Structure 1
């Protein structure tokens, strides 16, 4: 244990942050001397040894309208955390993604002498580039998961370390589709379509009905297909079941399995994916699976985003990282069940296109693959040492 007994605090804002932070927490626990960790944690972080002051579900809110409705509770939680995170009791704060929540928290505790690290750069390369000044005030160091981000921070004079993306190490370069199907109980020749409508309630309420409507149409076009929908949070199962009952035809419903967790096995086993924009699009790319990306938010949230504007023509990470439209994207009113089904059928019928896509995804995988837990741990401890030397 560290000499002063201080812990490193982690604050994850959503399930993808839980996934990112857990391997780093494990690495800090193996360090000599080991570091205690605590904070806002998800199930993976808790299993890795992080003591949960609050669960990640308490922060998992998406969209302007949704955040406004939860704002009083979120502000109360942020004040509570800021009071708890003080020099002497906290060796450092690592804010994991969730920039709208974490950057303000990091700024507050940094003023009190606590070293701050922000893990995952906000997408300043896509929109709201002015946030780099907020980042400068908030964080002593940024941990980057995409290689092209390093030059942005170098130009701005902000300390940053590229650590790779932990998913690129966790996911095999050559996925074993047959083995994944055996584990899930499906035959090697069974056609499987994976549906991934998001990991948050607001996402699911916006897009799941369109995914189920697409399954209705795909059932007709692909009569032998089965559909897998991995459910990230057991608390979302009743919501998905209600939408399924209201949307799916009996034939599609019979062929659709809601599977608790196991999203990586579902991606490894499947032939194609309908996926909501977010980290899951990167997961699908690392599993080398053809996909169609969908993105929907409430109308008012969409209006605000259009007013702010974007610097990039894509929302999906595979397209952003490639710098071109590798996979189809359907946004807002375009993301209907009919359009999603039609686009996925087009992708699945193009064998040569799938081969080219797999090659591009392999190159992407290689670029993102690093020893992320070790690199992140080194950067965190270096930042703490620098702060103590001042």
Structure 2
């Protein structure tokens, strides 16, 4: 009797755990007898993965934290390669976490195991030279953005655009009135969302800047209200400490636990730190001002490595400067406030941007888990045959 199809997966953090769980569900719908093994979090465990190591041990952020945990992470990677080489699954799927997963994939591919990487690193923007290496580490890359597959194909690799799961989750038509009703915000007052980042280090750099911009906006619109969604308890603690200082204690700011989509949808415009949050704002069809500030030394290094004329995902995806990017020395309270109020005072430009973001949403809205499942099973069943 043939052994059941065995698929190995590895997700290094919460976002990968969610993608992995959806992928597993889609695979099970097509192949009910499949077995899953590897590393997964609570959602993947609920779908039935046999997790050989704890996912939490891989979910490390920040350079200092990574250095401290490097020996343990290295041991897990060596152990996973050893275990999967012995088990010989029909395919290995690394989900995001490229620094960990691509190294595992390369070893397994060398041992004759099929490999797929799900979620391309940002090679279109940063360290494009990685593409030549990645196409030798994996048999296929499953990409969330349409501009990514051509980069791998040009290097002789195989890649497929499967859409972005966020585009499936968020509604194509954003209901501002309903969002304001849920947040108890009046329809006739200016509302601005502030999104200074999801990490404490980003809060330290960006939140004071965003709050100073908000104070300047209040001079022109004293009735304005502000909302700030917070990703973690640690970022909430840091923001609350800032708001307790005399400079900001009168700021009319509503803090939310999560609910970034609700905050964006309720807002007239969003002030957002550069990163994946900018895509969420675009999918909520809201005008935004993108900003970021890091140490001058880091910025000088990053600037040399960036290969695209824009840093904001909405601008990259639309191929034009659709929303302002105020970075580094341009990230001043005065410039941020002026750019935000320019959106508030330009309804025709906002309407045109909303249409562009709707078109982008429809492009990214694919049946992501199903497309990924079909690709993974193609490799697994090819290996099994």
**Residues 1:67 and 2:63 aligned together:** yes
CA distance in 2, matches of 1:19, 1:267: 22
Instruction: Identify if the C-alpha distance between structure 1 residues 181 and 117 changes in structure 2 by more than 3 Å, giving closer, same or farther.
Output: same
Unaligned runs of 5+ in 1: none
What corresponds to 1:357 in structure 2?
A: 353
- The alpha-carbon deviation at position 373 of structure 1 amounts to 1.0
Residues 361 and 116 of structure 1: is their aligned pair in 2 closer, same or farther, counting only changes over 3 Å?
Answer: same
Query: Could you list the per-position Cα deviations for residues 188-220 of structure 1 after superposition, in whole angstroms to 9, with x for gaps in the alignment?
Result: 334321111222233233222212222222233
Alignment partner, residue 132 of structure 1 = 131
Match of 2:281 in 1: 284
Matching residue within 258, 263, 266 for 2:260:
263
Contact 2:9–2:40 (CA under 8 A) maintained in structure 1: no
Q: What's the offset of the Cα at 1:305?
A: 1.3
Distance 2:312 2:185 in 1: 29
Alignment of 1:1-390 (within 5 A): 3-4=3-4, 6-13=6-13, 16-18=15-17, 20-33=19-32, 35=34, 37=36, 41=40, 53-55=53-55, 58-61=58-61, 66-67=62-63, 70-74=66-70, 76-85=72-81, 86-87=84-85, 88=87, 90-246=89-245, 248-252=247-251, 255-306=252-303, 308-389=304-385
User: Does the 8 A contact of 2:196 with 2:272 survive in 1?
Assistant: yes
What's the secondary structure of 1:216's corresponding residue? helix
Note if contact 2:9-2:95 (Cα within 8 Å) is conserved in structure 1.
no
Q: Secondary structure at the match of 1:292?
A: strand
Shift in CA distance, 347/55, structure 1 to aligned 2, threshold 3 Å: farther
Name stretches of at least 5 consecutive residues in structure 2 with no aligned partner. none
Q: CA deviation at 1:90?
A: 4.8
Mark the CA change 1:349 to 1:46 in structure 2 (over 3 Å): closer, same or farther: farther
TM, length-normalised to structure 1: 0.86
The 10-residue stretch of structure 1 (50-59 or 357-366) with the greater mean CA deviation from structure 2: 50-59
Tell me the C-alpha RMSD between the 2 structures.
2.8
